[in-house]
Structure 1
């Protein structure tokens, strides 16, 4: 990954690089960019979702995107965008989608396998929907 690509990735996923750019948080930091409306991209939706879930005490594992060095990074086709976990023994999965977009056939098949194994899989189109599920999981 070039320095420019790394910088762009860090800007899209600042929660993964807390040590980078230790400058004061912008006005409104910690407040989602959109709770009831859609986002310009799934990347922005995911960045806000991860930030809000971490603030609520969840550990969040994001599905890897892009490449490692100059080679491809392989993830099982259809694997959900986020794996969320916390003690004691709470784990669930979230697929984030733009309004009007539907999960692919590979995603639906993977979600079905995870549900058959007893896990909760949520497809969220809005941050408010995801946070409502988070509240249920926390309770």
Structure 2
């Protein structure tokens, strides 16, 4: 057996090998799958982001039916699946919403992106003529 204790080396290659990668939208072209493929996962560390993205990629991701209880503030405020901490507590404490660890590379959602978009808009306005700017 390949999982036998101490027997970690295999002598033969894998018997059944996939020739094509799995596509979660190959036969299912519903709006639900399209929406899941376009989800962004904010307030998560890179490891937890990879875990949740794997679930979406292989059709294992399931939405929450009802809000869940946050483990920090004990309120029913967790609205994303596989999260244990609400977005307010996660952003205030600077921790991952899934595992609760404080990592320096956690993405904190639309607030940073909105500032970048506003700055790009202001830069674009500087290059526009006055007549077009007032319209």
Name the TM tier (shorter chain): under 0.3
Structure ranking higher in strand proportion: 1
TM-score by length of 2: 0.22
Higher Cα radius of gyration: 2
TM-score by length of 1: 0.22
Structure possessing the higher relative contact order (Cα contacts under 8 Å, 6 or more residues apart): 1
